[in-house]
Amino acid sequence: MTKKQQNIKQVLFFAAVLLALIAATAAWIVAGRKTTTDDVGAKTPHGLFAAVYYEAPDIDKNGVHDAGEEWQVIEEKAINYSGLVPGQTKFYRIKIITYEESILFTMDFKDISTTVAPGSTATAADVLSRLYITLRVEDINGNPIAGASPVSSDLLAYLGGDSVTTKAVYSIDLTGYEESEVNIYYYLGLTPGHVEGFDDDLLLSGAAFDIGQISLNATDA
């Protein structure tokens, strides 16, 4: 091989190395700037399902999940319901991805508490009676899941009292939904209008309802 051929070979080699370095650097930059949240996280330790939590805003405060009020992935799973106006609703959704053919799935609200505004004559029961909850469970096509009855109730009636700290929400047999998407929707809202005998501004501005933990579990059915 002549000297000239050796020089050409070296130039081509270094050019190939340079291109590889540029490609690797570009890939690193793209990965480092990734801002989207993966739709489905890692499997839970028992390997039966994964869950992604979402919230959508009630922009026009009409209590209806309208087009344009888009679902956003959230990290905080607890719920703090305060500072809302009558008619406004908080929309929540949990997307469940199943990994096994037969799953008995349960959902519970835990660490429930109700706060009454300081100076208000209202009770915890009064606050809960002003709040309402709706629940439903659907498959990926929007069809209801058998055994998961929809709920529409004021919170006082739904919880069964004003001192309840844990509420079993659903126990669902998801047999036949292997590698499928199941969506749990739960909306919390404040009934519109005025309640006689209460100062609404005082009742609502300082009152709060909290769910400290949303517990999801699954076992082989």
pLDDT tens string 133-149: 999 999 999 999 999 99
Q: Between these two residues, 203 and 13, which has the higher pLDDT value?
A: 203
Flag whether pLDDT at 161 surpasses 90. yes
Flag whether pLDDT at 128 surpasses 60. yes
Residues in CB range of 199: below 8 A, 6 or more apart: 120
Q: Between these two residues, 35 and 158, which has the higher pLDDT value?
A: 158
Residue-level pLDDT at 202? 52
Give me the percent of the chain exceeding a pLDDT of 70: 73
Q: Between these two residues, 129 and 186, which has the higher pLDDT value?
A: 186
Flag whether pLDDT at 83 surpasses 70. yes
Confidence band (pLDDT; 50, 70, 90) for 8? low
Residue-level pLDDT at 34? 27
pLDDT tens string 27-76: 332 333 222 333 333 334 457 899 999 999 888 878 888 888 899 999 87
Measured CA to CA, the distance from residue 148 to residue 144 in angstroms comes to: 8
Strand partners, 210: 80, 113
Residue-level pLDDT at 25? 35
Give me the percent of the chain exceeding a pLDDT of 90: 44
The enclosing H or E element of 5 equals: helix 3-32
For the chain, what is the mean pLDDT? Answer: 78
Average pLDDT over residues 8-26: 44
Measured CA to CA, the distance from residue 6 to residue 2 in angstroms comes to: 6
Residue-level pLDDT at 173? 93
Average pLDDT over residues 165-175: 95
- As to burial, measured by CB atoms within 10 angstroms (0-12 exposed, 13-18 middle, 19+ buried), residue 180 is middle
Flag whether pLDDT at 153 surpasses 90. yes
- The residue type at 205: S
pTM: 0.75
Residue-level pLDDT at 55? 93
Residue-level pLDDT at 39? 38
Measured CA to CA, the distance from residue 8 to residue 14 in angstroms comes to: 10
Residue-level pLDDT at 7? 53
